Amino acid sequence: MKEKLTTIRLSVDLDKELEKLASLKDTDKSKLIRDFIIIGIKEKKLQEALLLYTRRKVSIAKAARLAEISLWEMMEIVAERKIAMPYGIRELEEDLKGLKE
């Protein structure tokens, strides 16, 4: 994997919090920040997919693909977050199409 150097500005307080967490996890601050970014990207993808799903722009299968998780994981998340699951012919057709891919 290629790496690229990116710099960010942090408040002194945030930097201190990162130092504490890195120390507790026995890791360096850079790795901790990378881990947070990876987690944040995954969560942002999930949020965007759920938003499209709740607005009925995509089926639950398509939302799962956008979030890069399985259909079953997406269904569990939708249930956990008590998101209504609108389901009709269009959604069924999209889900069947998604399963074939």
Helix-helix angle 12-24:29-54, to 10 degrees: 100
Please give the Cα distance from 18 to 65 (Å, whole number).
32
Confirm whether 5 is domain-assigned: no
The pair of structure tokens assigned to 12 is 């002194």
8-20 burial: b if 16+ Cβ within 10 Å, else e: eeeeeeeeeebee
Confirm whether 6 is domain-assigned: no
Confirm whether 53 is domain-assigned: yes
What is the domain count for the chain? Answer: 1
Q: What is the pLDDT of residues 38-94, one digit of tens each?
A: 999 999 999 999 999 999 899 888 999 999 999 999 999 999 999 887 666 776 777
Please give the Cα distance from 94 to 61 (Å, whole number).
7
Q: What is the pTM of this model?
A: 0.75
